[in-house]
Amino acid sequence: MLGGAQISFKRLPAMSPESFESVVEQAALAWLHGIGWAVAHGPEIAYGAPGAERSDPRYRDTVLEGRLRRSLERLNPGLPAEAVEEAFRRVTRLALPTLLERNRGRTGCSSMG
Protein backbone atom coordinates (compact mmCIF):
# COMPACT_ATOMS: atom_id res chain seq x y z
CA MET A 1 0.00 0.00 0.00
CA LEU A 2 1.24 3.47 -0.83
CA GLY A 3 -0.69 6.36 0.69
CA GLY A 4 -3.72 4.10 1.05
CA ALA A 5 -3.60 2.99 -2.61
CA GLN A 6 -2.98 -0.62 -3.57
CA ILE A 7 -0.18 -1.11 -6.08
CA SER A 8 -0.04 -4.22 -8.22
CA PHE A 9 2.86 -5.34 -10.35
CA LYS A 10 2.59 -7.44 -13.48
CA ARG A 11 5.29 -9.93 -14.32
CA LEU A 12 6.72 -9.21 -17.75
CA PRO A 13 7.48 -12.08 -20.08
CA ALA A 14 11.11 -13.16 -20.10
CA MET A 15 13.14 -11.51 -22.83
CA SER A 16 16.77 -11.41 -23.82
CA PRO A 17 18.91 -8.50 -22.65
CA GLU A 18 19.12 -7.32 -26.28
CA SER A 19 15.33 -7.31 -26.64
CA PHE A 20 14.89 -5.51 -23.32
CA GLU A 21 17.50 -2.90 -24.32
CA SER A 22 15.67 -2.33 -27.60
CA VAL A 23 12.31 -1.87 -25.85
CA VAL A 24 13.83 0.63 -23.40
CA GLU A 25 15.64 2.48 -26.21
CA GLN A 26 12.48 2.78 -28.33
CA ALA A 27 10.47 4.00 -25.33
CA ALA A 28 13.12 6.61 -24.51
CA LEU A 29 13.30 7.80 -28.12
CA ALA A 30 9.52 8.08 -28.32
CA TRP A 31 9.42 10.05 -25.06
CA LEU A 32 12.22 12.42 -26.19
CA HIS A 33 10.49 12.94 -29.55
CA GLY A 34 7.24 13.65 -27.72
CA ILE A 35 8.82 16.48 -25.72
CA GLY A 36 10.29 18.10 -28.81
CA TRP A 37 13.73 16.54 -29.22
CA ALA A 38 14.91 15.63 -32.69
CA VAL A 39 15.91 12.00 -33.05
CA ALA A 40 18.73 11.20 -35.46
CA HIS A 41 19.66 7.67 -36.43
CA GLY A 42 23.30 6.65 -36.11
CA PRO A 43 23.98 5.98 -39.79
CA GLU A 44 22.65 9.44 -40.69
CA ILE A 45 25.23 11.22 -38.52
CA ALA A 46 28.06 8.67 -38.77
CA TYR A 47 31.58 9.57 -39.80
CA GLY A 48 31.72 9.88 -43.59
CA ALA A 49 27.95 10.24 -44.08
CA PRO A 50 26.62 13.34 -45.90
CA GLY A 51 25.18 14.64 -42.60
CA ALA A 52 28.14 13.46 -40.50
CA GLU A 53 28.31 14.80 -36.95
CA ARG A 54 30.81 12.27 -35.65
CA SER A 55 34.53 12.84 -36.12
CA ASP A 56 35.76 9.36 -35.22
CA PRO A 57 35.13 6.45 -37.62
CA ARG A 58 35.43 4.03 -34.65
CA TYR A 59 32.63 5.77 -32.66
CA ARG A 60 34.84 6.67 -29.70
CA ASP A 61 33.58 10.26 -29.61
CA THR A 62 31.07 10.49 -26.78
CA VAL A 63 30.05 14.10 -27.42
CA LEU A 64 28.76 15.52 -30.67
CA GLU A 65 31.00 18.57 -30.45
CA GLY A 66 29.32 20.64 -33.15
CA ARG A 67 25.90 20.20 -31.54
CA LEU A 68 27.25 21.07 -28.12
CA ARG A 69 28.95 24.26 -29.36
CA ARG A 70 25.84 25.36 -31.29
CA SER A 71 23.66 24.67 -28.23
CA LEU A 72 25.95 26.65 -25.94
CA GLU A 73 25.80 29.58 -28.36
CA ARG A 74 22.01 29.32 -28.76
CA LEU A 75 21.40 29.10 -25.01
CA ASN A 76 23.79 31.97 -24.23
CA PRO A 77 23.32 34.63 -26.91
CA GLY A 78 25.72 37.50 -26.58
CA LEU A 79 28.27 35.47 -24.63
CA PRO A 80 31.80 36.12 -25.91
CA ALA A 81 33.30 33.32 -28.01
CA GLU A 82 36.03 32.80 -25.38
CA ALA A 83 33.39 32.14 -22.70
CA VAL A 84 31.53 29.68 -24.94
CA GLU A 85 34.82 27.86 -25.57
CA GLU A 86 35.57 27.76 -21.84
CA ALA A 87 32.11 26.29 -21.15
CA PHE A 88 32.71 23.72 -23.88
CA ARG A 89 36.06 22.75 -22.32
CA ARG A 90 34.55 22.44 -18.85
CA VAL A 91 31.78 20.16 -20.08
CA THR A 92 33.98 17.96 -22.26
CA ARG A 93 37.21 17.79 -20.27
CA LEU A 94 36.54 16.94 -16.66
CA ALA A 95 39.61 17.47 -14.50
CA LEU A 96 39.49 14.15 -12.68
CA PRO A 97 42.44 11.75 -12.51
CA THR A 98 40.91 8.37 -13.39
CA LEU A 99 38.47 7.13 -15.99
CA LEU A 100 36.09 5.87 -13.29
CA GLU A 101 36.06 9.28 -11.59
CA ARG A 102 35.52 11.04 -14.93
CA ASN A 103 32.57 8.74 -15.73
CA ARG A 104 31.04 9.39 -12.34
CA GLY A 105 31.65 13.12 -12.71
CA ARG A 106 29.99 13.28 -16.14
CA THR A 107 26.92 11.28 -15.11
CA GLY A 108 26.59 12.63 -11.59
CA CYS A 109 26.76 9.15 -10.09
CA SER A 110 28.52 8.90 -6.78
CA SER A 111 28.24 5.17 -6.20
CA MET A 112 27.91 2.02 -8.24
CA GLY A 113 24.90 -0.24 -8.00
Question: Quick check: helix, strand or coil at residue 2?
Answer: strand
Please indicate, yes or no, if residue 22 is contained in any of the structural domains: no
Residue-range definition of the domain harbouring residue 62: 40-94
Please indicate, yes or no, if residue 108 is contained in any of the structural domains: no
Structure confidence at residue 98 (pLDDT): 73
Alpha helix stretches (DSSP H) within 2-64? 17-34, 42-45
Degrees (nearest 5) of the Cα angle 49, 51, 52?
A: 60
**pLDDT tens-digit series, residues 38-71:** 888 888 999 999 989 998 898 888 889 999 999 9
Please indicate, yes or no, if residue 30 is contained in any of the structural domains: no
Number of domains into which the chain is organized: 1
User: What is the model's pTM?
Assistant: 0.59
Please indicate, yes or no, if residue 105 is contained in any of the structural domains: no
- pLDDT range class, residue 109, cuts 50, 70, 90: low
